[in-house]
Amino acid sequence: MLYHLFDWLGADVPGSGLFTFISFRAAMAVFVSLLISLWWGKGIINLLRRMQVGETVRDLGLDGQLQKQGTPTMGGLIILSATIIPTLLFAKLNNIYIILLLVSTVWLGTIGFIDDYIKVFKKDKRGLAGKFKIVGQVGVGIIIGATVYFHPEIRTRVEIPQVLADQLDPSELHTITEEDGTVHYMLNRKSPNTTIPFVKDNEFNYSSILGLFGRSARQYTWVVYILIVIFIITAVSNGANITDGVDGLATGTSAIMVLALGILAYVSGNVIFAQYLDIMYIPGSGELAVFIGALLGACIGFLWYNAYPAQVFMGDTGSLALGGIIATLAILVRKELLIPILCGIFLVENLSVVAQVSYFKYTKKKYGEGRRILLMSPLHHHYQKKGIHESKIVSRFWIVGIMLAVLSIVTLKLR
């Protein structure tokens, strides 16, 4: 909003030039987001407490668990508001990447809010039926996947030799001239490409999957792409939801992932860095740094109240939205194949539940009694059962998350 305002007012207004820099607007988004989450967050917590919007805790035999009874939940409202407001203020609102992120944030936040509302106000511990959650996640996956695949503004560029450039229509090219007069020819592409980590010449086109069934099958690449996007968004969103089990765990690990994605988005949207690192250049994606700055500030600000001992829980309002946003960001910067590394915490938490349930059912059927791999799932509860304090569990998960984030960034050059 402010970007468009100062752009309309022109260069005559002092300081208006600052709003042309993504780095300045991203920094301001972080600052304003922190202010909103810290100042407004306290008010929301007090409001939730007055409305008796408290967490209902089941006795699972975990140390200190029953002390959390009645702690305000639905604190994800703090994260959502502290993300959306700075984005509306500082981002280019006509940027397709920003529009997609705002849609996914509101969409998934609404699903989580309905789930929390049913649990708290309708006194139904089951919350929103799982099938309705899946329908909602599939819906946003279809929107994201179809838009990325078909929208004319979502393109990638790759450098090509001058000999090849001379044979193409000028409208298909974008030229960059350096200070020494060197000209680089960039080919505009509309293709479902992504990046394979740790591999040289690491671009992968989803159409090659269907190429195994003949050339004519490539016309259905959009179906495969949208199904993959749906799976990624659903898996990561549910992974964040499962991880939100102890104070500060989901918030802190999400902030680490978001920061890493911010770096990846900035270099992918900057033609100079993209050329230097020899990575896919995605025009317009640099604007994602503004949204990411707002989300990062929101997570850090929320952590002020969510760290042990938590004064508020994010609930599904926050966790479903956080996971979906992280997945969407990875898809938009064409780094979705990096998710198993970057979102390794979410992945392991998901797998721990799947493995525990599957093994229990298998052994019950085979031996007549169910057996367990872990003392309790998800994984963080297993460590709690072993007597490790939750603050130490969270700290160690953060350290692992930082290591995975650094490894994800290193993949830019480690091939």
- What DSSP string describes 3-15? HHHHHHH-TTSTT
Is the predicted pLDDT of residue 79 greater than 70, yes or no? yes
Is the predicted pLDDT of residue 81 greater than 60, yes or no? yes
For 119-140, how does the pLDDT look when each residue is reduced to its tens digit (9 = 90+)?
A: 888 877 788 888 899 999 999 9
Predicted local confidence at residue 173, as pLDDT? 62
Q: Indicate the pLDDT class of residue 237, thresholds 50, 70 and 90.
A: very high
In degrees, rounded to 5, the angle at the alpha carbon of residue 403 between the alpha carbons of residues 241 and 235 is 25
The span from the CA of 193 to the CA of 200, in Å, is: 15
Eight-class DSSP state of 217? G
Predicted local confidence at residue 21, as pLDDT? 83
Mean pLDDT score, 105-131: 88
- Collapsed DSSP state (helix, strand, coil) of residue 109: helix
Q: Which string of b and e fits 336-367 if b means at least 16 CB within 10 Å?
A: bbbbebbbbbbbbbbebbeebeeebeeeeeee
Residue 156 main-chain phi, psi, to 5 deg: -120, 160
Is the predicted pLDDT of residue 41 greater than 90, yes or no? no
The span from the CA of 299 to the CA of 295, in Å, is: 6
Predicted local confidence at residue 140, as pLDDT? 96
For 164-176, how does the pLDDT look when each residue is reduced to its tens digit (9 = 90+)?
A: 666 666 666 666 6
The span from the CA of 238 to the CA of 354, in Å, is: 12
Structure-token pair, residue 198: 């740790």
For 253-296, how does the pLDDT look when each residue is reduced to its tens digit (9 = 90+)?
A: 999 999 999 999 999 888 788 878 878 888 888 899 999 999 99
Predicted local confidence at residue 305, as pLDDT? 93
Residue 184 main-chain phi, psi, to 5 deg: -110, 135
Q: Which residue has the higher pLDDT, 284 or 114?
A: 114
Per-residue CA distances from 33 to 7, 259, 321 (Å): 23, 14, 17
Residue carrying the six token digits 């990875």: 330
Mean pLDDT score, 343-352: 95
Helix, strand, coil percentages for the chain (3-state, nearest 5) = 65, 5, 30
Give the strand pairing for 193-195 and 183-189.
unpaired
pTM for the full predicted model: 0.90
